[in-house]
Structure 1
Amino acid sequence: MAVPRRDMWHSRLVSVLKVLLPLIALVLLSTLFLFSRKINPEDAIPYASVNAENRLRDPKMTDAGFAGMTSDGSSLTIAADEAKPTAEGGALKLVQGLLQTPDGAKTELASAAVALDSAQKMIELTDGAELHASNGYVVQAQGFGVSTADTRVESRGPISAIGPGGQLTADHMVLSQQAAAGPYLLVFNGKVRLLYQPKR
């Protein structure tokens, strides 16, 4: 009995494809390896750019921050470029802070370094500090003590300030609430000298 011509053609096609398809697959695989980009095993992993030994020897945190509420309802936030642990609690460098009292007044703080004293509930702005009060005063001092328990910012030593009335110097400055549920005032005391500069 003769095999139909159509079946013969089909059998030959299958035989040819059995050889041809694996060859095509091999060609494709070889071109894949031929044109692929070479991987350099010495290339650094993006997230492994930190020297682990240095970090273990000198532990620190970058882009650190502190946020909290005082007992009288003021919000206090501190952001620092770098933070290091210390025996007292911690130290931060290149600091920006914001104190917002319940009456809506905002006081901006800045210093080169900050020390956190957990036991005393104080944040000590050191190495030259600046305070921008919402009433227009810009106060500079060697340092400020900022309480985390209640709303109180106190200068460490004498201050110099520029405000709506002119330039002034004083032995001491404190920003605090005057009484329970009372107003928040910026008070200069000690030897206060004002160079009055009226607006023109």
Structure 2
Amino acid sequence: MTRFDNPHSRIVAKAKILLPLASVALLATLFLFARSSETLDDFPFAQSDIEALAREQRLDGPAFSTVTSDGAQLEIAAKTIRPDPSDGRILNSTQVNAELKLLNSATVSMLANDIAIDGPNEVAELAGGVNVNTTTGYSLNTDRIAAQLNFSQIESPGPVEGTAPAGDISAGSMKISQDADSGSYLLVFKERVKLVYQP
């Protein structure tokens, strides 16, 4: 039997025996005390959420952006989006935040409860109570807004009311678009326009 004359050699010789034994003991412990695998019941999903995901197509937290033909930027974000049951080319969304950044540095921000994006016709229709705010000082409320995706135009065919830089305003309809002659952007109110001037 080999004799070791120095402490280092004795430690190495003992380690050659003890370390493999320790590794075998660790492996045996892992196999003996391993827990059973988790099942789907252990995950924190509500049964209603699982059934809803299986029943319908849905995307959470989507964002959409485009550049119109005149160079303005339109950005739309929603809480959820799903295809329309009657027409798969139309997407329906909920809790919508849309923003149109015009070339003159003005911005039109829109908040709505619902939106339907019609890709073939290149229009996004906001509904369910729409709040429109502009960086030029207008804050308006209406039931529905149609925003074109291919050029800068926002139109409300129904009644509009809110505040303007000069005071309170109401009208039967409203339209924001680019003037063909000057290239500037115009906010036009039509039908029974009423302005309560506040100097």
Normalised TM-score (structure 2) = 0.80
Q: Is 1:122 paired with 2:116?
A: no
Gaps of 5+ in 1: 1-6
Structure 1 counterpart of 2:71, one-letter code: G
- 1-side partners of 2:91 and 2:22: how far apart? 66
Q: Is residue 2:43 matched to residue 1:44?
A: yes
Match for 1:9 among 3, 23, 34? 3
Largest Rg, 1 or 2: 1
Residues 103-152 of structure 1 show CA distances to partners (whole Å, capped at 9, x for unaligned) of 11111111000011223211000111011011100111001000112110
After superposing the two structures, state which structure 1 stretch, 171-180 or 135-144, moved more: 171-180
Amino acid at match of 2:3: W
1:45-194 map, 5 Å = 51=50, 54-86=52-84, 87=87, 88-180=89-181, 182-194=183-195
Aligned length: 186
Report the CA distance between 1:57 and its aligned residue: 1.5
Residues 3-56 of structure 1: CA deviation (Å, up to 9, x unaligned): xxxx6425xx7998776555444444456668x78465234399xxx62x5323
- 3-state SS of paired residue (2:63): strand
User: For the aligned residues, what is the CA RMSD?
Assistant: 3.0
Which amino acid letter does the alignment assign opposite residue 138 of structure 2? Answer: Y
Spell out, residue by residue over 1:54-77, the C-alpha distance to the aligned partner (whole angstroms, 9 max, x if none): 323111100012110111111100
Describe the SS at the equivalent of 1:142: strand
Gaps of 5+ in 2: 5-9
Question: Matched residues, percent identical?
Answer: 31
